[in-house]
Structure formats: structure tokens, C-alpha cells
Amino acid sequence: MMSRHRIPQLAPTIFVTALATACANPKRIDEAPIAVMHNGDRVASPTHTTDAATTVALEVGIAGRQRRDSLTAVALASCEASVCAALERGELAIGMTEVQVLAATRTTDVAWSVRRSGHGAVLVPREADAVPRDATAPVALVQLADGVVAGVTYREPQGLRTVTSAADADNAGVSRAAALVRAGDAMAVMGDFTAALDRYDRASILTPTNAEVQYKIAATLDKLLRPVEAQLRYKLFLHQLELQKIEAVGTANAKLSDAIVHARERIVVLGGKP
């Protein structure tokens, strides 16, 4: 006869067995949403509407590309060498025709509102939140006289800038390069050398013969532990200065003299010949 003292000892065993069985065979609940329909309800299919909207958008996109391609072909067929070069870069240039303006900004006439008066015309963006731009910056307006561009006004971080001659464009490039160098200097002071290098690189594109920018790039690459590129830039800096013809004289050239010495030293340290 089983002792009455052993019966309570079986309870834990039974509980553990039941728990293991429950874990091995968990109950599954279908969590899919339940659609509730009422008498007279019909399920609307959005497929047709969606397909129609997609088709229209596709057709508009294709038509827009075809129109831009057509304008570009016309623009390139009648351009002078300097204008053709600007078109290939995607830049506006003084002397462009209206069609060439569209080609340079990769737009069509839909993107612009045109006001004509006598021999002149003014093109302004039709939509404030979809401003056309060329490779330089967003375009605020384009002024034409006798059918060709006489002035272009850009929207830039520092405000509006108007270009009315090739010299204006060149001077603007120098000004933008100087602003980029100042921004790079500020970032270098804060220790963000990667961001500083980005600004110096962009300034170098605008002013490729600026020796000081080359030196800043070299010093920044040096700090970023990129010795091969740093050595190349130091050499480029020295080459641009034509050291054999330079004599550092007076306070104005003292800083340049220090840069020359430092560049020579770093080339040697990095394993090259000055």
C-alpha cells in the first residue's frame, strides 16, 4: 500500500511534465486581421486606379526626357566653342540662346515663367520649391537681350549673385574658393580634418594654381595619416611656387617661407626627395 506521505511528492513531477508538454506544443493564434462585411458592402479594387496613375506618370517622364533630349540636340547644333563647352559642363554662360539655357539647366520650358518685353526677356523659375540650377548653383533668374543671355542671377548661401560677364564668373570662382578655404580652416581648428579636406579639395577645383590651397591639402592629408597623397601634394605645392625663383623677403613672405621649409621636411619624413 502506497504511503500517504509519498502522494504529495508526485505533485511537482506532474506539474513539470505538464509544463514541458505545453512548451513543446504551444497553441498558435491566427493574428491575421478579420474583415467585417455588412450587407450591401462591396470590396473596391484600387488596381485600375493605381495602374492608370503609374502609366500617366511614366508617359509624362518619357515625354519630358524626349523633350530635353530634343532641346539639347538643337542647342549643340548651333553653339560656339565656349558655349558648347559650357553646355557639356552643364553651366550657363553669357551669350547663350534661350534653348541653350534650357539645355544647360537640363530643363524644359515647363520649368520657367517667361516675361518678354521688346528685345528682352526674363526667365524665372515657375515653382519656388523646384528651382532649376546649373552646375554652379540654383538659378534665380536669367536675363536675355536680343535673344542671348545678358545676365544670370544665382541663389547662393550668402545671397543673390549676378553674373554679367565671363570676368564676373571667374571672380566669383575665386570668391567661392576663398570662402571654402575659410570654412576648411575653421573645421581644421575644431579637429574635423575630413570635413576640412573636403572644403580644400573643392577650393582647389575652383583655383587649381593656388599654391596655398595645395599646402593646406597636403598638411591635412598628413594629419589624416595618408602619407602617399600628402607627399604628392607637398611636392605639387613646391612645384607651383617654383622655389628656385622665390626668395622669402619681409613679413609678407615669412609665412610662405615657413610653409616651404615645413613642406621640404615632411617630404623627407614621408620617404621622398624634396
Cα 239 to chain centroid distance, Å, stands at 32
Secondary structure element (H or E) that encloses residue 271, with its range: none
Secondary structure element (H or E) that encloses residue 81, with its range: helix 81-89
Q: How confident is the model at residue 251 (pLDDT cuts 50, 70, 90)?
A: very low
In three-state secondary structure terms, 34 is coil
Among the listed residues 120, 119, 123, 121, the one whose alpha carbon sits nearest the alpha carbon of residue 110: 123
Domain with CATH 1.25.40.10 in the chain: 167-269
Question: Tens digits of per-residue pLDDT, 8-28?
Answer: 554 555 555 555 555 555 555
Secondary structure element (H or E) that encloses residue 164, with its range: none
Cα angle for residues 173, 178, 180 (degrees, 5° grid): 95
Share above pLDDT 90 across residues of the chain, in percent, rounded to a whole number: 21
pLDDT of residue 31: 53
Question: Tens digits of per-residue pLDDT, 174-222?
Answer: 888 888 899 999 999 999 999 999 999 888 877 777 888 889 999 999 9
Question: Tens digits of per-residue pLDDT, 138-178?
Answer: 998 998 988 999 889 888 876 778 888 777 666 777 888 88
Could you tell me which CATH number the domain at 167-269 has? Answer: 1.25.40.10
pLDDT of residue 29: 52
Question: CA distances (Å), 148 to each of 10, 33, 35, 120, 124, in order?
Answer: 101, 64, 65, 9, 15
189/1: higher pLDDT? 189
